[in-house]
Chains A and B, each alone.
Chain A
Amino acid sequence: MTTATASHDDHHHGPEKGLMRWVKTTNHKDIGSLYMWFAFIMLLIGGALAMGIRAELLAPGMQLMEPQFFNSLTTMHGLIMVFGAIMPAFVGLGNWLIPMMVGAPDMALPRMNNWSFWILPFAGGILLSTFFMEGGAPAFGWTFYAPLSTTFAPDSTDFFIFAVHLLGFSSIMGAINIIATVLNMRAPEMKLMDMPLFVWTWLITSFLLIGAMPVLAGAVTMMLTDRNFGTAFFDATGGGDPVMFQHIFWFFGHPEVYIMILPAFGVVSHIIPTFARKPLFGYSSMVYATASIAFLSYIVWAHHMFLTGMPVAGELYFMYATMLIAVPTGVKVFNWISTMWRGSMTFEAPMLWAVSFVFLFTIGGFSGLMLGIAPADIQYHDTYFVVAHFHYVLVTGALWSIIAATFYWLPKWTGKMYNEGLAKVHFWWAIISVNVLFFPQHFLGLAGMPRRIPDYSLQFADFNYISSIGGFAFGASFILLTYIIIDCVRNGKPAEARPWPSAKGLEWTLEPKAQYHSFNTPPSRKLIEQESQNS
């Protein structure tokens, strides 16, 4: 018989008492919850900044703030959402779910797991503190292009650089932990092709993180020395090149956008089969599609730079390589739709979010394809069309899947059911307002409205007004979401161990509120086969 042994003070496999439990914890569920709450708080802070942006853009002319502060808002909004909300939320989901899904008691390197979380509040604190510094917060956009971020940036930029170092360090440790967990803690009877897709997508995402985040660290280090020690990496007067910054940044940046979407693909691949009451269509093609997307994501970065100076051969190569990504992405969308085809579907909250994910993410994918056409991008680049594109893939893509996952696994995390009626109201509120918010931005972009500018000419007024109204409504929807979650945690009705009867996965074989250490004995081959998505 195999058992989980935890040393010393942990013999009863229960949590420690008091506040220090959260500081010292090595438990994947505790750490997962910490990540999720951190991400949620950052989401609200980042959302508040976005409300500021939309308020300024409600009407033409300067409304509320100095242009410099407006630029700080867009910059910090982007950074907080990417590094503070979306990424930590996915790591939180990974922490909570992966050990349960692979039949392990916990993560492979639990103490390091604790550290990857506990770096975040410090990094986030340093990043946010730049708002209160002389010269204001960074205002060069979340892409921090040189020389805006080197020669012309406020002093607070150096704090921003260190915050990015810390965030990157945390992500790398998180990724290493997930690789070690999947490869080494997986139940002995579970083959790679038995693994649930969330585990697969996270495994592949981890390789993206380990490959991309150190390059980001390199980029900010070069910025740091250019700013403070007179190096000339991004300075043409010394033989460097600001365009080189963009190459290094986007070598990180494009894999980064897939870091934020691959786990989302995994989540959706769990929810759709459950509520379509059919096995996932094309399991292995999903795995291969994910892997090829990850591979391709390393070799398309300069599609963000069609206008910044590249030889024509480069433009052509990056255009065609970018188009290529549409193929595996199309495979995925095809599989989700085929899974639903002739299924007996019901639309509980997780499914609503998942189905709308497929729909809206695809809109974002299509606008991505448009942007990937180099000659067309000359028109679109740096307009609101780009803003619309990446909000469709990130908000109604990444964030949507996080909300879907929260509703789907909340019963397993808390042992309680959320209020389905309220959740549906919230869904419709959010999905209508988010489209009112972002859809008009396509038109604004096609008409030529530049991004990152606090003022605009009169012909853009109507669509901006509509967009801002949608923005405020969407922002307000998070008040309801907060209520639904807290209400579930405190007053929710007890959930069954498998609240979704047709759901598959080892996590549903655990107690209604999953026990503190997931699997003390590895699951049997039979159980694994029963719960496998690949059947």
Chain B
Amino acid sequence: MSEQEYYVPHGTYWPIIGSIGVSTLFVGFANQMHGVEWGASVMALGLAITVFMMFGWFGQVVNESTNGMYNKQVDRSFRWGMSWFIFSEVMFFAAFFGALFYARALSVPWLGGADNNIFTPDLWNAFSASWHQMAFLAPGTELQSGTTMSFPAVPEGLTIENATPADVVDPWGLPALNTALLLASGVTLTYAHHALRAGHRNQIIGWLVATIALGVAFLGFQIMEYSHAYADGLKMTTGIYGSTFYMLTGFHGFHVTVGAIMLTVILYRVQKGHFDADNHFGFEGVAWYWHFVDVVWLGLFVFVYWL
């Protein structure tokens, strides 16, 4: 198909199936949170429909692509689409990083009476602001939201000025290992790309398997890390550090999971011989996504675990 021909795909039912799936998922989720019995099953149904849609839709695109129906222009559209989608993800994470910075630099010190703001120490009697665990209320105090906090003991003399997250989770243990794993996975993925361009299928497969293995190892360690943190008393409900910690690492972990699944699909497609040296946007799009997830982790490592 020549460069100058426009391509407009024919209609499909996948989008409407997707809308039904995602809406069912959300309605189920909301009901589940409100303690409605059927909530969870409706949620599962919605998830199943959504996954079905994704396989169906992407499968159709793959078929059309391997049948040679797409041209260079379609390829470029996909590239623009993927890169701006990743940018929107960056902004999503930025909201949570913003919350982290705001709480750390402003709201927690203010609660401790800094800057002579409207929050004076009188408001929170005998409160000393400490970053990592907000242990200023007696264990068992009710939060506004009705949940109870149970704080681990804070070491003597630890305040917002001198505490770092390292006092809670040692960044040079599992988190450093995980950083190494993800960085390595970025390298192996790049090797896979080089192999793809050189047309060595066995090498591609080898490097891809290595990348996926590194990703899965990362996830395994992350689960270990969570159970340590949880056992030490750091929970989503233990104030703002726990909130940002679990939300940021949780969304990141979710993205690693999705990335690993996508890489697995790519592995399957490589085996099927879907790509050649010039034509492999599917591979590249997933690679971009994987690198993005990598970079987010670096931000997490520095700001959530280390500094």
Contact = CB atoms under 8 A, between A and B. Distances in A.
Interface of A: 2-10, 16, 21, 23-27, 104-106, 108-112, 114-115, 118-119, 121-123, 125-126, 147, 150-151, 155, 158-159, 162, 165-166, 172, 175-177, 179-180, 183-185, 210-215, 217-219, 221-222, 225-233, 235-241, 243-244, 247-248, 251, 309, 311, 517, 520
B125 interface: no
Interface stretch (B76-84, B191-199, B216-224, B268-276): B76-84
Contacts of A162: 26-27, 29-30
Contact of A210 (B87, B141, B242, B243): B87
Given A4-B5, A240-B99, A309-B118, 11 more contacts: A21-B11, A25-B11, A112-B15, A115-B18, A158-B34, A159-B27, A166-B22, A180-B84, A214-B94, A222-B95, A238-B237
Contacts of B7: 4-7
Interface residues of B, number: 78
Contact of B107 (A159, A236, A251): A236
Contacts of A121: 19
Contacts of B10: 6-10, 26
Contacts of A150: 144-145
Given A151-B144, A225-B247, A237-B141, A10 B30 contact: no
B81 A244 contact: no
Interface in B40-83: 57, 64, 69, 73, 76-78, 80-81
A239 B9 contact: no
Which 6 interchain pairs have the tightest Cβ spacing? A218-B95, A24-B11, A115-B15, A230-B147, A230-B237, A241-B107
Interface of B: 1, 4-16, 18-20, 22-23, 26-27, 29-30, 33-34, 57, 64, 69, 73, 76-78, 80-81, 84-85, 87-92, 94-96, 98-99, 102-103, 106-108, 110-111, 115, 117-118, 134, 136-137, 141, 143-145, 147, 149, 235-244, 246-247
A115 B81 CA distance: 14
B227 to A, nearest CB: 18
Nearest to A243: B107
B243 A233 contact: yes
Contacts of A165: 26
Given A210-B84, A232-B243, A251 B237 contact: no
Contact of B240 (A110, A179, A239): A239
Contact of A166 (B23, B81, B235): B23
A122 B240 contact: no
A6 B8 contact: yes
Nearest to A28: B8
A231 B11 contact: no
Contacts of B85: 172, 176
B277 to A, nearest CB: 23
A126 B87 contact: no
A176 B80 contact: yes
A158 B8 contact: no
Given A185-B77, A238-B143, A238-B240, A215 B91 contact: yes
Contacts of A232: 134, 143, 145, 237, 239-240, 242-243
A499 B140 CA distance: 73
Given A215-B94, A230-B236, A240-B107, A110 B80 contact: no
B239 A239 contact: yes
Nearest to B75: A184
B19, B90, B137: residue with the most chain A Cβ atoms closer than 10 Å: B19
Contacts of A230: 143, 145, 147, 235-237
A238 B243 contact: yes
A155 B80 CA distance: 39
13 contacts: A7-B64, A9-B10, A106-B8, A109-B78, A118-B16, A118-B19, A150-B145, A180-B84, A183-B80, A214-B88, A215-B92, A222-B95, A232-B239
A184 B13 contact: no
